[in-house]
Amino acid sequence: MLTIALHADNEKKMLLENFCIAYKNILEKYHLIGTQATAQHIRMATGMNVTELLAGGLGGDKQLETAIMNEQVDVLITFERVDIDRFHEPADHNALIRLCDFYSIPVATNISTAECLIMCLGRGDLDWREEMKNR
């Protein structure tokens, strides 16, 4: 079964909740993981089972990075706060994106890309990832 990692800053948790509600019929077919608060929000909003990592600042972000490095994540959906005035991205966010690039893991950082990815999942376009694991 493919694993989808869900990750959101506090300011974006409601957006991720609404996304998960809208696409529950697709998401519930996959193994979902998330840092503590994100997993709890998604579970409460949708009733779906979400494997809960530690809180992000208490090691959950590192657990997520480790899961990516161990090729235990097939898709990452991460919604981060975006400040126009900020000239750089948060370090943890950059690390997640770099790891996904290195391990060829599809990643969505905004609602539009997340919807594209979820539609691909719904059509089975990423099923090849599961086949590769079984080799």
Q: Which of 126, 21, 125 is nearest to 6 (CA)?
A: 21
**What is the per-residue pLDDT across 13-41, written as a single tens digit (0 to 9) for each?**
999 999 999 999 999 999 999 999 999 99
For the domain made up of 3-133, the CATH class stated in words is: alpha beta
Query: Which parts of the chain sit beneath pLDDT 50?
Result: 87-89, 91
Residue 57 DSSP symbol: G
Residue type, 81: R
Largest CA distance in the chain: 47
Q: What is the pLDDT of residue 91?
A: 45
**Which is catalytic among the residues 61, 85, 125, 127?**
61
- Concerning whether 61 is annotated as a catalytic residue, the answer is yes
Residue 56 is predicted with a pLDDT of: 82
Full-model pTM: 0.90
10 Å Cβ neighbour count for 93? Answer: 17
Hey, which residues does 4 pair with through a beta bridge?
A: 32, 75
Domain assignments of the chain as residue spans, ordered by start: 3-133
DSSP 8-state secondary structure symbol assigned to residue 1: -
